[in-house]
């Protein structure tokens, strides 16, 4: 059986590279070419935006939390939050840490029993958890610099401006990044 255990325990709260840019969720939209959801992250200190293509279920989990919509039963990310709380763990931040082979990678930073634990995650899952824990979302500067999708956007970027920006991307760029 293949193991996907990508957990590391750190004795300190060292976050690694230190070249992280704090982002906020600017919105969710649909890619008009692939009809896949896109989470748009925006640098809190500049105009830089980073779209990340995600799955429909993850986009739904993000949208439910953004809209503060209660569900009758816990969704997967709610269950993960409940599990972590039950184990006295705390999610402190999530980091979109890497862009490799056109795939974004993320790390969830948690405190548990006095130690910092990092968990490998898909960015969509990490973002959904960050919303539930109300913790910051970061992107490593290298990821922003290496992503062809990162671009400057207006502070008052509206849906029409975002749509025009996406329409200016090449067809080869649309849907390029895997979940």
Q: Is residue 68 part of a domain?
A: yes
Q: Is residue 164 part of a domain?
A: no
Q: How far apart are CA 142 and CA 158, in angstroms?
A: 27
Fill in the DSSP letter of residue 178.
B
Q: In this structure, how many other beta carbons lie within 10 angstroms of the beta carbon of residue 152?
A: 11
Q: Is residue 41 part of a domain?
A: yes
| Rg of the chain in Å (alpha carbons) | 16
Q: How many domains does the chain have?
A: 1
Beta strands 89-100; 137-140: pairing state: parallel
Task: List the one residue out of 16, 17, 58 whose CA is nearest residue 36.
Answer: 58
Rounded to whole angstroms, what are the CA distances from 134 to 78, 91, 125, 131? 13, 9, 14, 5
CATH code of the domain containing 69: 3.10.690.10
Q: Is residue 165 part of a domain?
A: no
Q: What is the pLDDT along the chain (179 residues), one digit of tens a residue?
A: 445 666 666 544 444 455 999 999 999 999 988 899 999 999 999 989 999 999 999 999 999 999 999 999 999 999 999 999 999 999 999 999 999 998 999 999 999 999 999 999 999 999 999 999 999 999 999 999 988 766 665 544 455 565 566 656 555 544 444 44
φ, ψ (nearest 5 deg) of residue 66: -60, -40
Q: Is residue 63 part of a domain?
A: yes
């Amino acid at each position: 059986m293949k193991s996907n255990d990508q957990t590391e325990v750190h004795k300190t709260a060292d976050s690694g590279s230190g070249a992280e840019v704090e982002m906020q969720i600017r919105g969710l939209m649909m890619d008009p070419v692939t009809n896949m959801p896109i989470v748009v992250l925006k640098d809190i200190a500049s105009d830089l935006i980073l779209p990340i293509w995600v799955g429909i279920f993850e986009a739904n989990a993000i949208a439910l939390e953004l809209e503060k919509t209660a569900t009758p039963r816990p969704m997967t990310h709610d269950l993960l939050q409940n599990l972590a709380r039950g184990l006295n763990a705390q999610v402190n931040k999530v980091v979109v840490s890497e862009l490799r082979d056109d795939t974004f990678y993320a790390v969830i930073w948690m405190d548990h029993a006095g130690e910092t634990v990092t968990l490998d995650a898909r960015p969509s899952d990490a973002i959904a958890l960050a919303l539930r824990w109300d913790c910051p979302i970061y992107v490593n500067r290298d990821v922003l610099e290496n992503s062809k999708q990162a671009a400057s956007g207006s502070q008052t970027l509206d849906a029409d401006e975002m749509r025009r920006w996406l329409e200016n991307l090449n067809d080869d760029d649309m849907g390029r990044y895997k979940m």
